[in-house]
Amino acid sequence: MPELPEVEVVRSGLAPAAVGARIRAVSVFDDRALTRHPAGAADFVALLEGRTFTAAERRGKFLWLPLDTADTALIAHLGMSGQLLLRAPDAPAERHERIRLHLEHPHHGDLVIVFSDQRTFGSLAVDSLVPDAGSLVPSQVTHIARDPLDPSFDDRAFVESVRRRSSAIKRVLLDQAVVSGIGNIYADESLWAARIHPETSAQHLTRVAVRRLLTEVRAVLEKALAEGGTSFDAQYVNVNGQAGYFAHSLNAYGRGDRPCPRCGTPIRRVAFTNRSSHFCPRCQRLRAGGPPPARRSEGDELPARES
């Protein structure tokens, strides 16, 4: 599933072409791409046609394009395989195209935004914008915490929130009510960088350790963002259809049985809910007070991409 860096790459790619553009027409080819818009395709089209995008925003894995109507926005969640692509007006249909928005931009002329989604877990919707901690966000996003790259992220509140939880620290990092935008890949990478075992109880971490982890989270996300995100297959691409290359910089995730770049010990891969965790058993030892290490799952093959 696209995580914060991938969604931010898409948002920043859309912004120059979408902001200021008028939506001339909307074509919905598959209603499954509107699961977050329960009023249906006709209502979706009516709310968008003739409107103008005024900005491009993101929180965690959600991105939205506010409209020139009062407090509404086009919101997108890419799910497992959703793509927002910029194309020429006469571009042929994408293989898994679900929705096409025809735009008129005052500087760039005519273009289209295509929503393509192979697995159909993603969705577009028109949603109302509501106040949330000094910002306007779609109502569907109010339950999502700010992400570590948000200028308004509260470091002190994050540290205290983490230390109040008895869950394993990796589970806390993936809790979108605590911090958004950190998926399985970047949780593993950040914990490796901070030398913290993923099953360490969050409440047993010192404030210094949590602050160090937050520093590493930001460093990992910023590096991934600079490298265009992580692509293991063709399901994540930017708005021009290009893959990111952070996969070449991974130190733990997807490196099961390969040597740790720091100490040479083989990276362990263990089952984690319906996904996997990757860590170095030497650099990331489980300290006293934590649960026993998870057992390796026999025959648990690594999927092409995990959320």
* Residue positions annotated with a catalytic role: 2-3, 61, 275
Q: Tokens standing for 169?
A: 């620290």
**Residues 230, 5: contact at Cβ < 8 Å?**
yes
Q: Tokens standing for 36?
A: 């977050």
Three-class SS of residue 173?
helix
Q: Between helices 207-226 and 155-163, what is the axis angle to 10°?
A: 120
Q: Tokens standing for 182?
A: 């950190």
Q: Which residues pair with 132 in a beta bridge?
A: 135
Q: Tokens standing for 84?
A: 């927002």
For the chain, first and last CA: distance in Å? 4
**Residues 244, 236: contact at Cβ < 8 Å?**
yes
